[in-house]
Chains A and B, each alone.
Chain A
Amino acid sequence: MKSSNEEERKMIEKLEQLPTIKHDISKEELYERISAKMDQPSSGKQKKVLIPVIGTISAFAIVLLLIPMLVNNGSNQATEDSSNNQATEDNTLDVAQEESTKKESNLSQKEEPNRTTDNEEKTEEEQAESMAPESSLKSHVVHDEPASDESILYMALADRQGQYTIPLSIVIPEDENIASFYNKLDDYLQEDEWGVSNYLFQDVLFEMDEANGIVNATFPDDFNVGQSSAMATMFEQLLITMFRPYQMDLIKLQQEEGNQGIEVGPYGMIDEIEIIHDTNFAYKLYRASDEHQFLIPIPQDESVTIANALEDLKQSDETFNVFNSVPTNTEFTVAETGNTLEITITSTFEPTQEMVTMIDAIMMTAKSFGYRMVQFENVTVDKVGPYILTEPIQVPNAVNPIHINTN
């Protein structure tokens, strides 16, 4: 191991010795060239000219170079091993379901002892106002596997400013086909009321190849995310957020007419997006409507510890409608035993809605850091909302549930 590190260090030193390469063109000349290019009717044209010319020249070169390579079968090419990505989420879902007949349907909130929905969450002020009766406390997460007659469809919306992804877990009847339900979502989503951006993929056809972990996404030919870098980033992040829980590894993008890849604003043509599974998140609250709020995952650097991430849950960024999910006066210490995270609350703990939301956020954050269970210590109550606090609690199955009743 040590000698391997030593070898790596030597290799790095060699790379660092590679010389600086300078561009021998004046600033003025470069600006003139760019301006001239931009003044052309279609900026895409220049690129199309460049590539065929290079392509034609390189075609000959390639043939010449490939012939000796054919003879030499001993060469090998290093390839990225994407299979190394370790999935840390456990909310897998069988998506191979039979197509069912289309029904008139509506969105509903379904109250169940252990699986509640919360799109009509109270505002923070209301939450703090009183200790709500135990039965009215609502959770932002799905605690168990879906019931035998239900499935979860994972989807994501962007916040109004295109800065954060909001994952949603749509609970649909088991006999609905998940892939085709993505195209029906428009009937159920209430983006304006929820204070979020419109669903971006209404006309996009998704097919999941579970065996190979590949999602094939077919976009309408006129699909356009615009020229904003924020939207281009959001486009990628939304797709990753949607398909990460299905344990997919790669999203392949194509147009209806069959062309591989689609134009994604300043990123240019993108034909596939790799899904990274080992990202850590801190879950805070997004609220841009008086009636609704959602837990949103905020990506954390690898250097951020679970303790730091949980402490950060007390911070708000109101400019972006992001609010603390843990009350600022909450004090706790963090320890771990194996896959269990132990949280000792050292401040007052009352069975309020705020505390249920806090536990939801802590549980989801812990889940993204790879923990399977969370044990709360030193709490003065045995139960709050759906949580029994006297024993370790399993991390949730999914976040921000929305129940859809198609009957």
Chain B
Amino acid sequence: MRIVFDEIYEKYHQDLYQFIFYMVKDRQITADLVQDVYMKVLQSYDSFKGDSSIKTWLFSIARHITIDYFRSQTRKRKRIKDFFNWTEKGEFIPDKGPLPEEIAVQNEMIQQVYRYLDHCTPDQKSVLILRFIQLFSIQETAEILGFSISKVKTTQHRGLKTLRTYLLQHEQEGGDVV
């Protein structure tokens, strides 16, 4: 088990951490989810048959664990929403937390890109992070997400459009757009 852990850690740990961090944007939650990913990987490594690369397998597990986390959050939000009879918009929680240090030192445009990533759906967000922050290929992204290549392209296009719309609104209105 230690050998497998060492190998995955050396090759992919920082990428794995970064992917989950940009998805959930919270260091503590990221740390917990990263541990969950390692647990799943170590528990099922023996049955990994190499039908995909270790990299895409690892990230597909990370993605499922992250999506599970989002779903558990959505279920809780739904309960509150039902209680107060919120509109659908109530399901969406924009990121209003303090910026992590790495982002806080960047220019305002980058900070806005970081914030408005949350206006994308989890699928769009996954594609944008994998493609343009992690610099994975379309093929790798498709394997990780279980999408066809054309779906990756469509999702990527829509995600970029969503981001652009909000950044444009931000520029025009001169403040945060929710």
Give residues in A with beta carbon < 8 Å to B.
7-8, 11-12, 14-23, 25, 27, 30-31, 33-34, 37-38, 43, 46-47, 50-51, 54-55, 58-59, 61-63, 65-66, 68-70, 72-73, 75-81, 84, 161-163, 226-231, 233, 236, 261, 265-271, 276, 278-279, 301-303
Q: Are B132 and A58 closer than 8 Å at their CB atoms?
A: no
Say yes or no: A18-B35 contact (C-beta < 8 A), given A55-B76, A80-B158, A268-B40.
no
- Report chain B residues within 8 Å CB of A302: 148-150
CB-based contact A31/B5 at 8 Å: yes
B residues with CB within 8 A of A: 2, 5-6, 9, 13-14, 17-18, 21-22, 29-32, 34-36, 38-44, 47-49, 51-52, 57, 60-61, 64-65, 68-69, 71-73, 76-77, 80, 84, 86-94, 96, 100, 102-103, 106, 109-110, 113-114, 119-121, 123-124, 128, 132-133, 135, 139, 146-151, 154-155, 157-165, 167, 177-178
Q: How far is the CA of A80 from the CA of B87 in the complex (A)?
A: 18
Asked, given contacts A16-B133, A276-B148, whether A163 binds B14 with beta carbons under 8 Å apart, the answer is no
Among residues of B, the one whose C-beta sits closest to the C-beta of A226 is: B47
A-B pairs with lowest CB-CB distance, top 4:
A228-B47, A302-B149, A15-B132, A23-B17
Given known A-B contacts A16-B133, A302-B150, A55 and B48 have beta carbons under 8 A apart: no
Asked whether, in the complex, the Cβ of B31 is within 8 Å of the Cβ of A23, the reply is yes
The answer on a CB contact under 8 Å between B39 and A268 is no
Majority secondary structure of chain A interface residues (helix, strand, loop or mixed): helix
Q: CA–CA, A30 to B41, complex, Å?
A: 14
CB-defined contacts of B73 to chain A, threshold 8 Å? 54-55, 58
- Provide the residues of chain A in CB contact with B38, threshold 8 Å: 30, 34
Sample of 11 A–B contacts (CB below 8 Å): A38-B43, A65-B94, A72-B178, A78-B161, A161-B49, A236-B146, A267-B60, A267-B61, A279-B148, A302-B150, A303-B149
Chain B residue with the shortest CB-CB distance to A24: B27
Residues from chain B with a CB closer than 8 A to the CB of A230 are 47-49, 51
A77 pairs with B163, CB closer than 8 A: no
Q: Which residues of B contact A75 (CB under 8 A)?
A: 89, 177-178
- What is the bound-complex CA distance between A20 and B14, given in angstroms? 9
Which listed residue (A7, A17, A30, A43) contacts B43, Cβ 8 A?
A43
Please, which residues of chain B bring their CB within 8 A of the CB of A63? 80, 84
Among A22, A47, A303, find the residue whose CB has the most chain B CB atoms closer than 10 A. A47
Q: A18-B133, A23-B31 are in contact. List 19 more A-B contacts (CB 8 A).
A: A11-B167, A19-B110, A22-B102, A46-B36, A55-B72, A58-B76, A61-B93, A62-B93, A75-B178, A77-B91, A80-B121, A161-B49, A227-B43, A266-B44, A266-B61, A268-B64, A276-B148, A276-B151, A278-B150
Bound state CA distance, A21 and B133, in angstroms? 10
Number of A-B contacts (CB under 8 A): 208
Find the B residue at minimum CB distance from A27: B9
Whether the Cβ atoms of B35 and A34 lie closer than 8 Å is: yes
**What chain B residues lie within 8 Å of A33 (beta carbons)?**
35
A43 to B85, CA, bound (A): 36
Docked CA distance A337–B98 (Å): 58
Contact of A19 with B103 at beta-carbon distance under 8 Å, contacts A65-B93, A79-B121 already known:
yes
Q: Which residues of A contact B48 (CB under 8 A)?
A: 228-230
User: Which B residue's beta carbon lies closest to that of A230?
Assistant: B49
Residue from B22, B32, B41, B160 in contact with A21 in the complex, judged by beta carbons closer than 8 Å: B22
Q: Is the CB of B110 within 8 A of A80?
A: no
Interchain CA distance A21-B43 in the complex, whole Å? 27
Distance to closest chain A CB from B127 (angstroms): 11
State whether A23 touches B34 (Cβ < 8 A).
Answer: yes
Query: A92 to chain B: closest CB distance in Å?
Result: 21
Tell me the complex Cα distance, A34–B51, Å. 26
Q: What residue of chain B has the Cβ atom nearest to residue A68's Cβ? A: B178
A61 proximity list for chain B (CB < 8 A): 93
Knowing A14-B109, A69-B90, A70-B90, the reply to whether A81 touches B158 (Cβ < 8 A) is: yes
User: Cβ of B17: which chain A residues have Cβ within 8 Å of it?
Assistant: 21-23
Nearest residue, chain A, Cβ from B10: A27
Known contacts A55-B73, A163-B49, A301 near B139 by CB under 8 Å: yes
Alpha-carbon separation in the docked complex, A68 to B93 (Å): 11
Q: How many whole Å from B107's CB to the nearest CB in chain A?
A: 9
**CB neighbours of B102 from chain A (8 A):** 19-22
Residues of chain A within 8 A (CB-CB) of B151 are 276, 278
Cβ distance B44 to chain A, nearest Cβ, rounded Å: 4
A66–B90 CB distance below 8 A: yes
A15 touches B128 (CB 8 A): yes
Q: Are A23 and B57 in contact (CB under 8 A)?
A: no
Q: Is the CB of A78 within 8 A of B124?
A: yes
CB distance from B66 to the nearest CB of A (A): 10
- Nearest chain-A residue to B65 (Cβ)? A268
Q: Which residues of B contact A269 (CB under 8 A)?
A: 68, 71
Please tell me if the beta carbons of B149 and A301 are within 8 angstroms of each other in the complex. yes
Known A-B contacts A78-B124, A80-B123; A18 and B149 likewise in contact (beta carbons under 8 Å): no
Looking across the interface, which residue of chain A has its beta carbon closest to that of B138?
Answer: A302
Task: Report the separation of the CA atoms of residues A149 and B92 in the bound assembly, to the nearest whole angstrom.
Answer: 50
| A34 to B: closest C-beta gap in Å | 5
CA distance A228 to B40 in the complex (A): 10
